[in-house]
Structure 1
Amino acid sequence: MAICGNRRWKSLESIDLGLYFIMGTKDVRSGNPLAVLESALRGGATLFQLREKGPGALEGEEKFAFAKSCQRLCQVFDVPFIVNDDVDLALAVDADGIHVGQDDWDAARVRKRLGPDRILGVSVHTVAEAEAAIAAGANYVGMGPVFGTRSKPNARTAAGTVGIREVAARFPELPIVAIGGITAGAMAEILASGAQGAAVISAIAGAGDAEQAAAEFVAALGRPEAVMR
């Protein structure tokens, strides 16, 4: 079982995918990234992924130290801590899970390294990729970009919610997280398409008030009681 803080997640059904916050140090336009993460957690983020990669990203001991600091904040708020792509780092810090893309590690190899008890998320864009992710042992898939996004310079063309609807219809038991240019105002459309929640980067990391931005997403999920933790 993946462990975060004093809580054990026995199955993905007990993990809230509603507001999946993704952040690296480069995503924060001003201020302290750790302060932004804490504000997002206070606002109601239900899952956090550290995505520290690309030119200018932290490396080595600095990356490890930052990851541990992020993890400690997640533990305070009882929120799962996920690492993007870096399997070695995920294992070194004892993260709750990892997320990989189609151009990153092979998902089946990642599952083998992680073992059966950690969360594995995979970015997919088609029904075929979703089927392969399931076969590899993924617990959820991320689909997008739904709308245009500037958070990822090499992002694919926005596809709307068509792909989400197709995958949700084919695999109704598969948890899906939408990503790409999503605002709180789009949450109703995202949920109606079959996704369980949305992954958000710039709408929170680049906001003047990360806590308020996160709270607006939580309210849009129809669960305002989760705003105050």
Structure 2
Amino acid sequence: MDCNILSVYFIMGTMNCTKDPLKTLEEALEAGITCFQLREKGEGALTGIVYEEFARTCQKMCQAYQVPFIVNDDVELALKLDADGIHIGQEDLALATFRKKAKGKIVGVSVHSSKEMEHALLNGADYIGIGPIYKTQSKKDAKPPAGLHFLKAMRKQIGNFPIVGIGGITEENANDVRFSGADGVAVISDICHSKDIGQTVKNLLLTKK
């Protein structure tokens, strides 16, 4: 896959936003995010038909900007909507099983150890998400920070395979993450809580290896 897709990878659910979620996504798309992942999890998350309708609206917005639309964890919804891809964690559906169901789709996998990384590569992942790089407030069940040292070690181990860093990433530290080996940065709070989303995304896009 094209690593440029991972450059500024926006992850959002309705619970993450300080203002209207669709407005937040629209502003992020206008500013130039390169990928969008819908992660609707946690207390108060949308469910059922309301969740599906919200996902469809997000997907149409992404299509208008030619930005890949990725669904977090929900295999059934990803297939139903014919999403561009799915991102799964270590606790989600077996990677190999989904890979068979979703030929031609982008599949991302969260990894927190060398062993998990090897499993992801062997079973058909297109990219891996390494983190949390820093302490994060976006996931209540987040693992301890992996740090830049782990990111550097994984880059050395897997060569040019696509990597996106996630967890506590901001405009101020995005460059450190890229210089440590990530092809891009996955961001939740720094965009969702921004008072000027357009400028925040532009600043994230300006950071280069």
Q: Give the TM-score normalised by structure 2.
A: 0.96
- Matched-pair contact (CA < 8 Å) for 2:112–2:146: no
**What percent of counterpart residues are identical?**
46
Q: CA deviation at 1:215?
A: 1.2
Q: Which amino acid aligns with 2:81?
A: V
Structure 1 residues without counterparts, runs of 5 or longer = 1-11, 223-229
CA distance in 2, matches of 1:189, 1:212: 19
In structure 1, which of residues 5, 11, 24 is the aligned counterpart of residue 13 of structure 2? 24
Which residue of structure 2 aligns with residue 6 of structure 1? none
Which 4+ residue blocks in structure 1 deviate beyond 3 angstroms? none
In structure 2, which of residues 33, 41, 53 is the aligned counterpart of residue 53 of structure 1? 41
In structure 2, which of residues 98, 101, 123 is the aligned counterpart of residue 113 of structure 1? 101
In structure 1, which of residues 147, 154, 158 is the aligned counterpart of residue 141 of structure 2? 154
Aligned length: 209
CA distance in 1, matches of 2:140, 2:34: 26
In structure 2, which of residues 52, 57, 61 is the aligned counterpart of residue 69 of structure 1? 57
Q: CA deviation at 1:15?
A: 4.8
In structure 2, which of residues 78, 94, 112 is the aligned counterpart of residue 90 of structure 1? 78
- Matched-pair contact (CA < 8 Å) for 1:18–1:221: no
Which residue of structure 2 aligns with residue 183 of structure 1? 170
Q: CA deviation at 1:120?
A: 0.1
CA distance in 1, matches of 2:167, 2:82: 28
Q: Does 1:171 align with 2:144?
A: no
Which residue of structure 2 aligns with residue 143 of structure 1? 130
CA distance in 2, matches of 1:114, 1:129: 21
Which residue of structure 1 aligns with residue 66 of structure 2? 78
CA distance in 1, matches of 2:93, 2:152: 26
Which residue of structure 1 aligns with residue 28 of structure 2? 40
CA distance in 2, matches of 1:14, 1:24: 24
Which residue of structure 1 aligns with residue 112 of structure 2? 125
Which range moves more in the overlay, 156-165 or 79-88? Answer: 156-165
- Matched-pair contact (CA < 8 Å) for 1:20–1:198: yes
User: What RMSD in Å do the two structures reach over aligned CA positions?
Assistant: 1.2
SS of 2:15's equivalent in the other structure is helix
Q: Which amino acid aligns with 1:73?
A: M
Q: CA deviation at 1:54?
A: 2.0
CA distance in 1, matches of 2:9, 2:196: 17
- Matched-pair contact (CA < 8 Å) for 1:185–1:220: no
CA distance in 1, matches of 2:175, 2:43: 35
CA-to-aligned-CA distance 1:52-76 (integer Å, 9 cap, x gap): 1222111111111001100111011
- Matched-pair contact (CA < 8 Å) for 2:71–2:87: yes
Q: CA deviation at 1:173?
A: 2.3
Q: CA deviation at 1:14?
A: 6.5
CA distance in 1, matches of 2:102, 2:59: 17
Structure 2 residues without counterparts, runs of 5 or longer = none
